[in-house]
Chains A and B, each alone.
Chain A
Amino acid sequence: MFNWVNLASQTFNGLVLGALLALISSGLTIIYGTLGVLNLAHGAMFMLGGYAGYVTYTYTGSFVLAVLGGSLFVMLVGVLMERVVIRHFYNRPDEDQLLVTFGLAIVFVELVRFSFGSLSFIVPPPSWAAGITSLGFMFYPTYRLVLVGIIAAALLLLFLLLYRTRLGMIVRAGIEDSTMVGALGINVHQVFTVVFGIGAMAAGFAGIVNAPVVSLTPDMGESILVQTFVVIVIGGVGSFPGAVIGGLIAGEIISLTSMINPAYSYVMLFAVMTLVLVLRPHGLLGTASRN
């Protein structure tokens, strides 16, 4: 049913989804840009963040602690994954990297399914953000508005980390030329571990802050992963600004087209991805630096 309120509501939803995708995709893209590994377990990490946050919430009753718990847990998972598994695959063909991260994704999902079953869990929003807000012409869930703010803050933090800290400098240099970074005395292996941890944490954080909006299921990472791929193809692999812009675009596309039919959003995304691949193979803001 077309009406302005519906459109406005969906546009807002698109903003929320877009911000979420921007954050998750940023994590994926800096991992790929720096390490050259496409982390197929990224969606599963999003899911793990939600569950880890849920567990923290049940023990502490605090939403803030849940967010911290979820994010830190996934960061640890990322660091372990890089040290134990991924680093043995840097010199192996691309397909092997894809297969091993893919396998780990399945392991994570099944581990969660085994531990929690397939029922869904709810993490309620914090009391100060619960309920609905009147925006004059329509009502909108308060938490979703807050969520945009939270994610914007997270993106800002990520931006500051990348562009205003020494670590960020190293990461940006590493995306461009990790060998030269090594030749300037920096141990790139440690950099890789840190980057993987940060990228994973971004996904995990997104998973727990998004939890009040959806219900947690073991499979919730799957569709996120696909959408993330589309985002980084659109925005350009290895580009943080590209991931942000691509995320917002994708979020709006999904939201607005799903007004017509949820399946069409996939078709539209795919069509946009195809268009970008044909017209601008490196994405909107990508560089040709990585092969």
Chain B
Amino acid sequence: MSYFEVNGINSFYGDSHVLFDVSMRLEQGEVIALLGRNGAGKSTTLKSLSGLVETKSGSITLEGRELRGAAPHRAANAGIQLVPEDRRIFGALSVEENILLAGLTAKPSWPLQQVYEMFPRLQERRASRGTDLSGGEQQMLAIARALTRNPKLLLLDEPFEGLAPIIVRDLLAVCKGLAEAGQTIIIVEQNLAAALSIASRAYILNNGHVVFDGTSAELKESPQILSRYIGV
């Protein structure tokens, strides 16, 4: 059994069937990319893994522990941590409060200093309210919050969306550092180059189905697959 396994899950928004028998697996320390056009079901997959979207049938297991159907806080406490697409930082709270809140139920959690070492910019802005942060800073904060919880599995949903290239470059460096340190990651990202630079394997989703499962190298050498499922 793999470190993390998803077997044949079907997810729904109400009665709209958005994921069809989706399966994937990861070993500890692997970084995989989840690719596909928008509407394919990538975000829905990450939300299903975090308990935010209703999943019927199939299983989701982390270190053998079944988590399908778990409420969000149970999935989070089991070690699955989502960095959502719209970041969802708490605007009314300060940067530091955002981080502290995230660490409350994690055992053990990262000490505040460790977080600030990884994101010095956040330390500079520690007292600022969430609403006063720039897009890049908010993304950093969203990732910092997730890392504070020492997650077994980190889910990054479009972390580079809407950010200036220079910020993307910095964040990518952070992600590479995490990957090198052995963090298990699933990254959903439209920026293919960025995604494939840190992921060793990739899955492609199309209309809610998994249509590709292979290494990043294989994918880079298959322009037909790329244009069919990711391009136009």
Contact = CB atoms under 8 A, between A and B. Distances in A.
B21 interface: no
B88 interface: yes
A185 B84 contact: no
A256 B105 CA distance: 50
Contact of B92 (A166, A175, A185, A188): A175
B101 A173 contact: yes
A179 B93 contact: no
B42 interface: no
Category for how many chain B residues contact A? 20 to 34
Contacts of B76: 182-185
A183 B84 contact: yes
A181 B106 CA distance: 13
A72 B113 CA distance: 40
A175 B90 CA distance: 10
B40 to A, nearest CB: 22
Nearest to B76: A185
Contacts of B104: 166, 170, 184-186
Interface in B80-96: 82, 84, 88, 90-93
B90 A177 contact: yes
B71 interface: yes
Contacts of A186: 73, 101, 104-105
A180 interface: yes
A183 B91 contact: no
B11 interface: no
Does more than half of chain A's interface fall in helix, strand or loop, or is it mixed? helix
Contacts of B178: none
A179 B92 CA distance: 15
Contact of B73 (A173, A176, A182): A182
B91 A176 contact: yes
B146 to A, nearest CB: 9
Contacts of B52: 179, 183
Contacts, number: 64
Contacts of A180: 84, 88, 90
A169 B50 contact: no
A187 B102 CA distance: 12
Contacts of A181: 101
A177 B91 CA distance: 10
Given A175-B92, A177-B88, A180-B88, A185 B71 contact: no
A185 B90 contact: no
Nearest to B98: A173
Given A173-B101, A183-B82, A188 B73 contact: yes
A173 B101 CA distance: 9
B92 A173 contact: yes
A184 B100 contact: no
Category for how many chain A residues contact B? 10 to 19
A176 B90 contact: yes
A177 B82 CA distance: 15
Interface string A155-185: 0000000000010011011011101111111
B51 to A, nearest CB: 8
Contacts of B41: none
Interface string B91-122: 11100010011101110000000000000000
Contact of B100 (A166, A172, A176, A183): A166
A34 to B, nearest CB: 12
Contacts of B90: 172-173, 176-177, 180
Given A172-B92, A172-B93, A185-B77, A179 B101 contact: no
A169 B97 CA distance: 7
A123 B76 CA distance: 50
B73 A183 contact: yes
Contacts of A185: 73, 76-77, 102, 104-106, 149
**Residue of A175, A177, A185, A186 most packed against chain B (CB within 10 A):** A185
B92 A184 contact: no
A169 B93 contact: yes
Interface of A: 166, 169-170, 172-173, 175-177, 179-188
15 contacts: A169-B100, A172-B93, A173-B92, A177-B88, A180-B84, A180-B88, A182-B76, A183-B51, A184-B101, A185-B73, A185-B76, A185-B77, A185-B105, A187-B73, A188-B73
Given A173-B92, A176-B90, 18 more contacts: A169-B97, A170-B104, A172-B90, A173-B90, A173-B93, A175-B92, A176-B92, A179-B72, A181-B101, A182-B73, A183-B51, A183-B76, A184-B73, A185-B73, A185-B106, A185-B149, A187-B73, A188-B73
Interface of B: 50-52, 71-73, 76-77, 82, 84, 88, 90-93, 97, 100-102, 104-106, 145, 149
